[in-house]
């Protein structure tokens, strides 16, 4: 059951990303990020009566409050990345999250990288290189330089780093409550804070922006809500490392969406890069 729930979560996330990309432009990215999250809430409202309220402590609230501004930053950068760059060049960089976790865990709790984890790191680096392998004719290091010329890729790398922090904070929050309790209350809180941010940034044009874009974001938001719900139920019954690694199939699905619906080029090299990075992710997660 957890496998089906996790695959549904991965499919829902990739579909939400593709639908979101279709409605994005320079002027509306913050509003679209907010509306996508807002339209995910109805499914959480349906789930909320099933939530068993957990006793919380100061550790829970410290992790909860600390994660919210990071989550909002990641959401905004994520949507910026979708707008600026091809999905097949941005989504694979989400596989860097466990790579960053290896280094942060080494600093914070002294964990060392195993041989399998090291192999995973090499595959992720090789996959990143392969995404721009066609640029090698300009020099052997050109594919790596090309990553940092693609602003959407840079934003997604930052998102992956932020997620390495929020996933740790989320793990603390879950340990001091429960997955469903933390997940529902967390996304309600993130939505509330993001609403304030959007209002302060767009107070004079917010009504017009909502009127223009809200119908277009209902479907992306609904799929985003489905992603959250299936994620929470899956993580309740599965090992976290297995569930998260399987959920990252969303980066492969998203890359395919990019080729099919947005006419993105260099299909084989980008898909090969995404597969290499995903394989490296699996090695790292299963080594931890």
**Residue 152 and residue 51: Cα distance in Å, rounded?**
37
**Residue 169 and residue 163: Cα distance in Å, rounded?**
9
| Helical axes 179-202 vs 58-84, angle rounded to 10° | 60
For residue 141, the surrounding DSSP H or E stretch is none
**Residue 203 and residue 240: Cα distance in Å, rounded?**
40
Q: Indicate the pTM of the whole model.
A: 0.85
pLDDT in tens, 161-194: 998 888 778 878 878 887 778 888 898 999 999 9
pLDDT in tens, 229-286: 888 778 777 766 667 777 877 888 888 888 888 887 777 777 887 788 778 777 766 6
Secondary structure of residue 56 in the 3-state scheme: coil
Q: Give percent of the chain with pLDDT exceeding 70.
A: 83
Per-residue confidence (pLDDT) for residue 108, from 0 to 100: 47
What the block records as the tokens of 63 is 């992790």
pLDDT in tens, 67-109: 999 999 999 999 999 999 888 888 888 877 777 766 655 554 4
């Amino acid at each position: 059951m957890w496998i089906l729930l996790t695959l549904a979560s991965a499919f829902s996330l990739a579909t939400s990303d593709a639908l979101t990309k279709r409605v994005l432009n320079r002027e509306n990215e913050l509003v679209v990020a907010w509306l996508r999250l807002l339209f995910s809430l109805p499914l959480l409202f349906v789930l909320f009566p099933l939530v068993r309220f957990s006793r919380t402590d100061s550790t829970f609230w410290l992790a909860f409050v600390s994660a919210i501004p990071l989550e909002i930053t990641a959401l905004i950068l994520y949507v910026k990345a979708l707008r600026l760059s091809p999905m097949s060049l941005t989504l694979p960089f989400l596989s860097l999250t466990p790579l960053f976790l290896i280094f942060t865990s080494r600093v914070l709790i002294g964990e060392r990288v195993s041989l399998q984890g090291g192999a995973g790191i090499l595959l992720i680096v090789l996959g990143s290189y392969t995404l721009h392998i066609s640029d090698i004719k300009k020099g052997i290091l050109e594919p790596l330089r090309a990553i940092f010329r693609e602003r959407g890729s840079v934003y997604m790398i930052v998102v992956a780093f932020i997620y390495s922090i929020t996933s740790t904070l989320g793990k603390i929050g879950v340990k001091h409550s429960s997955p469903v309790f933390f997940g529902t209350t967390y996304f309600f809180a993130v939505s509330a804070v993001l609403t304030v941010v959007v209002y302060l940034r767009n107070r004079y044009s917010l009504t017009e922006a909502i009127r223009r874009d809200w119908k277009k974001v209902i479907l992306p938001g609904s799929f985003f809500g489905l992603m959250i719900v299936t994620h929470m139920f899956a993580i309740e019954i599965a090992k976290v490392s297995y569930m998260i690694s399987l959920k990252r199939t969303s980066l492969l699905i998203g890359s395919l969406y990019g080729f099919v619906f947005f006419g993105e080029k260099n299909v084989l090299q980008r898909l090969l890069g995404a597969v290499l990075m995903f394989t490296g992710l699996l090695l790292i997660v299963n080594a931890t």
